[in-house]
């Protein structure tokens, strides 16, 4: 199962303005990760964090991957990472368990195969949008953070004007965040 | 107290694409109001609807007002309506309890005075954004609807790149919607 998993401000941003390699979350965007201070707690934020860590493959967009310093080749516990990109420079071999993939359906298929009976985690607005457009997303977990950022990069953007119906699975409230999980209805 | 009150898709839209007088919610945008089928229920959607109806003044943007057929001069129970607009044509007197106001601070002050010890309801993305920018919003009630619309008019847009911290007050889950209420921290 493929799960989009993103921390998002109430106004829809996953990264603040002017994101770059030097400032991967954009100006002020790390505000969205304050809730991760509770990742080791017994509360809801700990629960959803531990769930995310049980995923056994990752799909991410190239921009997210580069801005995160290619995660030094390891996102969590050495799970395979499939990095969606339009173009691969000759000789550019990503580190660790990462591979570049140029086709979204191929990325989804390979990630699901790698994950076996566990879930695939998707990080990054670009990868999320590509998978949503292709109808390949099973669930969406939004960590809705109690802040308006005003500007930045949006989680949901550049999608066609078509309904995607969602079925709510779970709502968990914790310090600074509401964790909302939905199933994508197909 | 001034309360922004809007139904919004998970991807941040309050109106579908191509909204107009003929199609005030844009293509497919009425999807966002399905939860109002439960407005007379004893459940959460009934509760939040009845609360909204206890407000004793309304602020809305000109676009929302016109697309709603000027609400025939009455939004609910004849409460005063302050319609934010950039320009008023000579001789254009709005119907019923509506008046045009060109200054956002004046609209807020007059609406609060009219509401007395009750709340002011704000409808429309434009009015909401103007009041947020001016620091005049006390609470935000988002009826977060279980759908992605893909395109349309966004609730939160055109804001400066500045944090607005929110304090969660209430989360109520009902059929098709999660009602999220926040206090704006100043």
Q: How far is CA B161 from CA A11, A57, A153, B32, B133, in A?
A: 11, 34, 12, 28, 11
Half-sphere exposure of A182 (CA within 13 A, CB side): 28
The pTM for the full model equals 0.96
For the stretch B81-121, pLDDT in tens is: 999 999 999 999 999 999 999 999 999 999 999 999 999 99
d(CA B173, CA A63): 35
* Chain B hits for A180, Cβ within 8 Å: 10, 144, 178
Q: Do A105 and A146 touch, CB atoms closer than 8 A?
A: no
Longest dimension (CA), chain A: 46
Does residue B11 have a pLDDT over 90?
A: yes
Chain B residues touching A144 at Cβ < 8 A: 180
Q: Do B163 and A151 touch (CB under 8 A)?
A: no
Q: What are the pLDDT digits (tens) for B26-73?
A: 999 999 999 999 999 999 999 999 999 999 999 999 999 999 999 999
Please tell me which of the candidates B28, B132, B148 has its beta carbon nearest to residue A159: B148
- Say if the Cβ atoms of B156 and A12 lie within 8 Å: yes
Residue found by looking up tokens 């990080």 in the block: A123
pLDDT in 10s for each residue of chain A, 186 residues: 999 999 999 999 999 999 988 999 999 999 999 999 999 999 999 999 999 999 999 999 999 999 999 999 999 999 999 999 999 999 999 999 999 999 999 999 999 999 999 999 999 999 999 999 999 999 999 999 999 999 999 999 999 999 999 999 999 999 999 999 999 998
Write the CA distances from B37 to A91, B34, B140, integer angstroms: 59, 6, 22
pLDDT value at position A38?
97
Residue with tokens 């609730």: B155
| A132, A163, A178 member nearest B147 (Cβ) | A163
Contacts of B156 in chain A (CB under 8 A): 10-12, 148
- Per CB distance under 8 Å, which residues of B are interface residues toward A? 10-12, 16-17, 27-28, 31, 132, 140, 142, 144, 146-152, 154-156, 159-168, 171, 173, 178, 180, 182
């Amino acid at each position: 199962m493929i799960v989009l998993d993103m921390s998002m401000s109430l106004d829809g941003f996953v990264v603040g303005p002017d994101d770059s390699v030097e400032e991967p979350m954009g100006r002020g965007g790390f505000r969205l990760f304050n809730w991760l201070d509770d990742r080791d707690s017994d509360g809801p934020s700990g629960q959803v964090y531990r769930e995310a860590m049980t995923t056994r493959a990752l799909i991410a967009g190239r921009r997210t991957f580069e801005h995160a310093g290619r995660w030094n080749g390891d996102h969590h516990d050495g799970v395979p990472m499939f990095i969606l990109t339009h173009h691969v420079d000759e000789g550019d071999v990503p580190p660790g368990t990462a591979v570049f993939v140029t086709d979204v359906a191929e990325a989804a298929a390979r990630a699901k195969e790698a994950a076996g009976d566990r879930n695939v985690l998707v990080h990054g607005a670009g990868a999320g949008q590509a998978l949503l457009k292709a109808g390949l997303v099973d669930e969406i977990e939004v960590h809705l953070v109690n802040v308006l950022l005003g500007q930045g990069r949006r989680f949901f953007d550049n999608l066609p004007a078509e309904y995607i119906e969602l079925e709510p699975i779970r709502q968990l409230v914790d310090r600074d965040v509401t964790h909302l999980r939905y199933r994508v209805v197909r």
